[in-house]
Structure 1
């Protein structure tokens, strides 16, 4: 059965490819053109990645909040820490800037020092009205200084809304239309309208503007992702083509490989568009991943073609044997790599599921493209020149192979001790790993918008909204005096934490109304008593329903209220502590039979999503190990061989996890991918080595040592080649400005380097030390599928080729 599959199937495939070259090329061109038409369906993500399943309680709470109040992250903040803003010229420029912003249809309204409203009491009839805080069109410098003093000393309502409680920093809030917050229109407005307007203001006034707020952060962050896709692709092409040329010293071989992987990249974008998936931080990695993973396919195929040419000089026979002999090996290695990515499909996270689907599809696709394009293109070209075959002597890495053989032969104890020390150290490091659920941690920290985030954190105690939804379970329940006092008590508790800003809610407006009732005296900025409410109530008629602040923090029925605070960039552990503390206070203040409270917001969702993904990490990695173990069991039909083969692949994962602990790299959505990706790729070397070892055992009459050294010499070179390509290919991601992508590239590169050394040193050492237990003919049975051809297989291929020649 194995021979039938190996010879019959792959010979048929080879004949099919070489006899239908024009048709296959036309089909590839047609498929590429079709997938290119799907690029228009690619969507760039305009929101933070939602890492939780749709039916998770945190998502349910968040969606309920959105139903009541719309998107909570619709504010863009402008910050100024410059006393010259209160000079008449600069103040007028600031006022004109605010007016221009309000004129945009994308902007609902703005709150700024130049258009600030002050609540005032009027008689005949009794009423409150919002009047301009600075009524003059062109105030003098003296007037502006007086208004500045009044703002800081007499208007606590605007503390941390317009002015900082820590310094003289002022901020303007631009409230975007909630319909465009998660759409392309937001990106167009921020990049093409807002940014040039603010740059022009800075240039003309000389005032340094700080800009932040979730819509702004999301837009610039997603634009950085878009910009980096092109950089990654070019860098991956550049690095892999240089390494490829260094190995083969052939321009045409390099060009053929680059064409192949470029088509693979076009297909990757096409698949994303065809499935209507968003381009996120994760899916943006797939095109360069295809280049990095596709180049080893090209190395195997072109290397085999040149070996065959050197052996007998017959081009047709060489191309036939490239497909027949290398087809199995490349298929198996690509299947195991795809399996590592495919495990993400089984998670409930939409983000990871989409990444797993697109990556696994395109890894199989790049295998198919390599197997079709390379033999067909070479079939139309002249035979390689002798200078192109010089690299086959491999003299330049002879010393490396000799060193490996010497280590395995004489230093096995040293290898085991080193592996044991690494294992113990890794376990210690693993216990120090932290989990990070920070929304901002992976953002480019050298970017100006990230520096502005830190400015707002310092001045206004955070930019990431945390929302508390209060359900009073009755109409107009939020206006009840007892409810307002409970809300105020919770807000005072939240304000005690330096990680949170001063909360904003209906209570601010109610306090302000009492202050206005007492003619603006700051000492009366407090909740009114029941008796005072009776006096104040007549003044609020005809006022409350029209004010932006009230409608933003109370729903139309008066049943629901929101309390908004802004968080600093804190990690998962700290966030969990604070959340637990706030919940304790909530349960004390709000009786469960009268109130229903939920806590939500993007930052909280992201933190819970990170914890959820960490749990899924164990699942996805376990599935990857199980899938590949089953696959190897089917191929080698030996349980002991499976155990031996998993050891050198699991140790590098543990070493990497230990490195993360010692280097302070936390577990987060980006670094979670490292383990499944690296395991799926590194196991390829094990398959190659064990397949060659099985072949050597048979050829050497089951002499263990001779077989191990023979396998090491034969596979060491190709494993070195591909590992070098993968190492430098994944290192490309380290040029990213995103911390998570840098960590992903560095960790996968390090893991693959450890895996290569483990497969070339630890695996053969284990085979030699356990020779009596795993080399028995009954235990190491005939494999279900041939990966590497034996001399018998060569004879079979010769017979098959002879039969085909006679038929012709």
Structure 2
């Protein structure tokens, strides 16, 4: 079934179309009821990440790293009353389901020398009874390096309660429910303290969900408003606004239903799909409406006639662009990050849904209630108003500065191409938010006052019992701990990389110091196994379970930091590995582990998946465009205006230090999928115009004139639509929107400036045009110009020429004129006459398949020796020397066959002329005798 037939289905079978649209919408409603929300950490980590087994083993040995830090600040926090309230809070936290451990001043140890004796006790089992006892607890807490900047700030006015939960089973709903439990406990506490908040994975998930729905409430109406404005401004009819809003609404409904049935959750990225549908889906509606309005007859407007005009002109481009846009989104499914994969599935489905909805709904509505007034003028005429001024400027640039445009573009491509090599990757959930977000501000406050909310483990495994009770082995851990503690942030240059580092060696070193009358020189691991064993015997298993296994064959270093840029953390981790590896004996293996690190590691796959998705998309587009326009050159040309925006995008990212993250990683593939839309419409229109216009430069100019309104209006609509995402609560969504908007600008300029310059150097023929061209079997079999050519090659040769229709008694060639035109009669009859002394002599009558004017075609400056005039309505194929030479240079096989046949025709006619002359001489001789 042809594309035109599919587009006609909507208005030819209106009842079936309405039923189909209704049934799909009703079914989608049931799917929506199954739609779930997922903002968990797991959606940021590849399911195939090699770190999962190591992470699971680490959690099993040393406990979970899913820790929420409750921040409590008060100028008078060290009063018995406030400490009692905090004790009650700690007990309530310990009673919560799934809580693995609660670390606070009520569980922390006080390790201190008192009158020559080592005192190891909890800082406080219960809240102090009086102020003196409270002051003593405060002094002991500030004295301990294990407590300071971990559970208590240096000024003693801020303390932390670290709540670690069991995450042995991955449940996307757990963090949300746990946050609510904590929040309920903190509400009554907030009124009695200066500042109280929680930070950690549960809070992060809640902030993502809250911000998602805030975005939807803001961005969807804004997208609709901008869509209304741009369509109304460019198409000059309020009616045009109704159609894209309706198709977008239906597409969104179907997409949400699909997500529910397919188990695709509502997430940070899928939340922007509704706005994307409104912004992107409206482009084809605009092209269809523009074509429909151009098809209206000013004197006798007819909706069905206008619809047929629309279907004929944009049928195939609609399907090509819909497919490539969907492929652009779907190519992101190559990413290993579930968040991006789900977005790719949902967004690509939404584009397909929008295509189906558009081709069914738009013709149906236009056939019933479409406008009957053409506000845009003749399609072949120059556009007016603002777009008219833009087109005139483009004409001048193209005519007089074409080479400068190409040179400037090439220079920019080289410069920005180099800048694109500096783009870094990042995938930290905290960096998804803007700096103004309260969670980010709270995390910074925690970092400045205590230690950052981010946690990872560095574990060491010897596979030998009591291995780390040996002094030489524990000293290695002590050295590595010191390296971590002193590690500078070599990327941001903002001082120390980590806020707090705690290991088993710290407990042993602190006890050793206090055993030696608090002498700082003894803050180190002892030199003998006996001393270490004696010190460890003074500790309970609960005190060090996060730092060593019961048999001391494995140890763990807990690191807290505030690095929210995964690129920074990955660089620092790589540097650490180079420093750590030489220090370790051969029998010790080590691993960095933690959900945070796996999320960061997933960032490394962003680049490779981006390259893969772009490569696949580019190959698909070249294949599709090569098939559609029957030329590999045409396929490559279609890429030029679409690769330029991609290179510009990555170059700008490099210059502005915008990272490749789950938001920005999707821009390039999406941009190609969308930008190809205008390119397809331009190339299709150019191919149509070239069939009647021999001057390819003029054809390129007319192409821009006819497509300026839809191309510029849809591009501006896309730019404004994507710009709306700058108002998102999420930094990565805002970056996505701004970059996508900028890329649409690059694509528009590329299509309007570069594409015409490239197009005018080539002739293209559409596959559909070849298939649909009706040529009589007689011509295919008998025309000498097409001898030994396949029907496909013949049709392509005809379409690479100009097709003209003329009425009866029209002069096709005039005797005495000089031109280089070859004609092939396709339909009708013509006569060849010679004019002499005011009289005409009919030399021949020619019909379909006849070749006329071959001598003047191949030789410059030859006058026509006869006049060719139509005897009835005819259709002829016209080949002009210069345009044919240009048009066939990318089709050498067809050109060679035409030249061979043309030479044969000329040779045969030369022989025929020679024979006729011989006959004439013989006749003259016989008459003379």
Do both proteins adopt the same fold according to a TM-score greater than 0.5, normalized to the shorter chain?
yes
Counterpart in the other structure of 2:569? 575
Counterpart in the other structure of 2:727? 735
Select 2:220's aligned residue among 209, 223, 233.
233
Counterpart in the other structure of 1:500? 498
Question: Cα offset for 1:563?
Answer: 1.7
Q: Is the 8 A contact 2:687 2:765 kept in 1?
A: no
Distance 1:97 1:787 in 2: 78
Superposed CA deviations along residues 413-471 of structure 1, whole A, max 9, x for unmatched, are 33234323423442353344344454432223111111111122223342211211222
Q: Is the 8 A contact 1:14 1:324 kept in 2?
A: no
Counterpart in the other structure of 1:313? 301
Q: Where in structure 2 are the equivalents of 1:715-754 lying within 5 Å?
A: 715-754=707-746
Distance 2:60 2:536 in 1: 29
1:279 equivalenced with 2:266 (yes/no): yes
1:336 equivalenced with 2:299 (yes/no): no
Distance 2:517 2:207 in 1: 44
Tell me, what secondary structure is at the counterpart of 2:195?
A: coil
Question: Cα offset for 1:367?
Answer: 0.5
Counterpart in the other structure of 2:148? 159
Which of structures 1 and 2 has the bigger CA Rg?
A: 2
Q: Quick one: structure 1 residues 522 and 273, their matched pair in 2 at CA, closer, same or farther if it must change by over 3 Å?
A: farther
Select 1:292's aligned residue among 279, 288, 295.
279
Counterpart in the other structure of 1:804? none
Q: Quick one: structure 1 residues 552 and 644, their matched pair in 2 at CA, closer, same or farther if it must change by over 3 Å?
A: same
Counterpart in the other structure of 1:187? 176
Counterpart in the other structure of 1:371? 359
Q: Quick one: structure 1 residues 320 and 508, their matched pair in 2 at CA, closer, same or farther if it must change by over 3 Å?
A: same
Question: Cα offset for 1:627?
Answer: 1.2
Instruction: State the structure with bigger RCO (CA 8 A, min sep 6), 1 or 2.
Output: 1
1:384 equivalenced with 2:376 (yes/no): no
1:207 equivalenced with 2:194 (yes/no): yes
Distance 1:22 1:70 in 2: 63
Question: Cα offset for 1:632?
Answer: 1.0
Counterpart in the other structure of 1:687? 680
Q: Quick one: structure 1 residues 104 and 520, their matched pair in 2 at CA, closer, same or farther if it must change by over 3 Å?
A: farther
Gaps of 5+ in 1: 796-808
Q: Is the 8 A contact 1:325 1:788 kept in 2?
A: no
Question: Cα offset for 1:738?
Answer: 1.7
Distance 1:178 1:519 in 2: 42
1:705 equivalenced with 2:697 (yes/no): yes
1:407 equivalenced with 2:391 (yes/no): no
Superposed CA deviations along residues 755-806 of structure 1, whole A, max 9, x for unmatched, are 11111112212334xx3xx34xxxx4453568999998999xxxxxxxxxxx
Question: Cα offset for 1:171?
Answer: 1.6
Q: Where in structure 2 are the equivalents of 1:29-40 lying within 5 Å?
A: 29-40=22-33
Q: Quick one: structure 1 residues 631 and 535, their matched pair in 2 at CA, closer, same or farther if it must change by over 3 Å?
A: closer
Distance 1:524 1:582 in 2: 27
Question: Cα offset for 1:370?
Answer: 0.9
Q: Is the 8 A contact 2:75 2:194 kept in 1?
A: no
Q: Which stretch of structure 1 is more off in the superposition, 384-393 or 239-248?
A: 384-393
Question: Cα offset for 1:207?
Answer: 0.8
Distance 1:277 1:478 in 2: 47
Tell me, what secondary structure is at the counterpart of 1:43?
A: coil
Question: Cα offset for 1:288?
Answer: 1.5
Distance 1:174 1:518 in 2: 34
Counterpart in the other structure of 2:605? 612
- Whose strand fraction is larger, Structure 1's or Structure 2's? 2
Tell me, what secondary structure is at the counterpart of 2:724?
A: helix
Q: Is the 8 A contact 2:239 2:371 kept in 1?
A: no
Q: Quick one: structure 1 residues 39 and 525, their matched pair in 2 at CA, closer, same or farther if it must change by over 3 Å?
A: farther
Q: Which stretch of structure 1 is more off in the superposition, 717-726 or 421-430?
A: 421-430
1:352 equivalenced with 2:345 (yes/no): no
Q: Where in structure 2 are the equivalents of 1:429-440 lying within 5 Å?
A: 429-440=419-430
Question: Cα offset for 1:262?
Answer: 0.9
Q: Where in structure 2 are the equivalents of 1:761-772 lying within 5 Å?
A: 761-768=753-760, 771=761
1:419 equivalenced with 2:412 (yes/no): no
Select 1:469's aligned residue among 454, 459, 464.
459
Q: Quick one: structure 1 residues 411 and 85, their matched pair in 2 at CA, closer, same or farther if it must change by over 3 Å?
A: same
1:629 equivalenced with 2:622 (yes/no): yes
Q: Quick one: structure 1 residues 53 and 602, their matched pair in 2 at CA, closer, same or farther if it must change by over 3 Å?
A: closer
Distance 2:805 2:129 in 1: 95
1:94 equivalenced with 2:86 (yes/no): yes
TM-score by length of 1: 0.85
Gaps of 5+ in 2: 488-495, 774-798, 807-929
How many equivalent residue pairs? 764
Q: Is the 8 A contact 1:463 1:567 kept in 2?
A: yes
TM-score by length of 2: 0.75
Q: Quick one: structure 1 residues 28 and 63, their matched pair in 2 at CA, closer, same or farther if it must change by over 3 Å?
A: farther
Q: Is the 8 A contact 1:466 1:565 kept in 2?
A: yes
Distance 1:296 1:788 in 2: 27
- Whose helix fraction is larger, Structure 1's or Structure 2's? 1
Distance 1:785 1:725 in 2: 31
Q: Is the 8 A contact 1:691 1:788 kept in 2?
A: no
Distance 2:688 2:636 in 1: 19
Q: Is the 8 A contact 1:518 1:524 kept in 2?
A: yes
Q: Is the 8 A contact 1:464 1:567 kept in 2?
A: yes
Superposed CA deviations along residues 673-718 of structure 1, whole A, max 9, x for unmatched, are 2111111211221111111111111111x32122111111111221
Question: Cα offset for 1:733?
Answer: 0.9
